[in-house]
Amino acid sequence: MVSKTRKQKKIDWLCTAFRDGFQSVFGARVLSKDYLPIVKEAVDAGVKNIEAGGGASFQASFFYNNENAFDVMDSFRKIAGKNVNLQTLARGVNVVALDSQSSDMIDLHAKMFKKHGMTTIRNFDALNDPENLIYSAKAIHKAGLKHQLCVAMMSLPPHCKGAHTPEFYEARLKAFIKSKMPFDSVCFKDASGTATPKVVYETIKRARKILGDDILIQYHSHETAGTGLACYLAAIEGGAHRVDLSMAPVSGGTCQPDVATLWHALRGSDYELDCDIDALMKVEDHFKEALNDYFIPPEALHTEPMIPWSPMP
């Protein structure tokens, strides 16, 4: 238990509900008119970091929603105000496309996302190959955006040995640093939710030692295999400054843990989630109402214990 005189360390968080939450549950097929009012409520409730686009949401806007993704980003910025960190997801040489892109398209991606109000681009390569990130990292910085470097995580299936150990991730981080690519923060991103708490803790502890106390370390996972929350607690103990959390009805299961779940899990510990939980619970109620007409696949809201036997980066 925390003594009454000890000051709890505040943990920052990124709200993923309006991007990864939508992608994980609906394939990002959600109309902006249905959720932008909830974005305003979230900002009014004190949310300072929001995932606002990129990833599959870029294609889904055009392919399925009959919306222009850039118009959606403009509306997102207008509603969020000028001070909120709006973050998007890019895939290195693929940026937000479905295949590798030429250098001029990588440059254009950064310029357009800056023009349409984004603050930070999280940039990952599933192979953790610096060569697949160097050019896009430079383009992101040149455009005036913050570059969040990613180390992609997962767990090997049981009985397999080799990569995806703390030593492996430490080596990948050192390779990224050695490449001299510019970055403002580092995210350890487990897209399948299969990493184990012990590996997460040791990896982030090693990263903190390499990066020092000032570089922001962020952790991202999913509840897919049922160990997401345990990994979040391990990441915080290891030295992560920020974690990715979603809001119901697009939290848990294939999504990130819910903000209320981690807030509750940290009660009585040395850490406190930086949020107004009472205000956010009201936002979640309105969010559920806003998405009431959308069909939520049952499999999106439960965990699957067999996932560690077939993980994906």
pLDDT of the residue at 311: 85
CA distances for 136 relative to 24, 28, 36, 88, angstroms: 25, 24, 29, 14
Residues 6 or more apart whose CB falls under 8 angstroms from that of 133 comprise 92, 93, 123, 124, 125, 149, 176, 179, 181
Amino acid at 124: F
pLDDT of the residue at 97: 93
Give me the architecture of the 19-294 domain, per CATH.
Answer: Alpha-Beta Barrel (3.20)
Amino acid at 256: Q
Residue 223, both tokens: 């509840």
Compute the average pLDDT of residues 45-54: 98
pLDDT of the residue at 6: 65
pLDDT of the residue at 5: 52
Q: What average pLDDT does the chain have?
A: 96
- Signed CA dihedral, 77, 82, 84, 88: sign only: positive
CA distances for 94 relative to 33, 98, 117, 133, 156, angstroms: 28, 6, 21, 10, 25
CA end-to-end distance (rounded Å), the chain: 36
Q: Which of the four pLDDT bands, split at 50, 70 and 90, describes residue 312?
A: confident
Supply φ then ψ for residue 22, to 5 degrees. Answer: -65, -40
DSSP 94-125: GTTSSS---HHHHHHHHHHHHHTT--EEEE--
Rounded CA-CA distance 181/69 in Å is 28
> Among the residues of the chain, which ranges form H helices?
22-26, 32-44, 56-63, 69-80, 103-115, 134-142, 166-178, 197-211, 228-238, 259-265, 277-290
CA atoms within 13 A on the CB side of 225: 23
Between helices 32-44 and 277-290, what is the axis angle to 10°? 170
Rounded CA-CA distance 37/35 in Å is 5
Residue 16, both tokens: 């993923």
| Residue carrying structure tokens 């160990």 | 227
Q: Which of the four pLDDT bands, split at 50, 70 and 90, describes residue 7?
A: confident
pLDDT of the residue at 80: 98
Compute the average pLDDT of residues 50-74: 97
Tell me the per-residue pLDDT of 164-190, one tens digit each, with 9 for 90 and over: 999 999 999 999 999 999 999 999 999
**DSSP 3-state of 261:** helix
Residue 35, both tokens: 């959720």
| Residue carrying structure tokens 């209320």 | 260
> Are the C-beta atoms of residues 256 and 220 closer than 8 Å to each other?
yes
Rounded CA-CA distance 51/166 in Å is 27
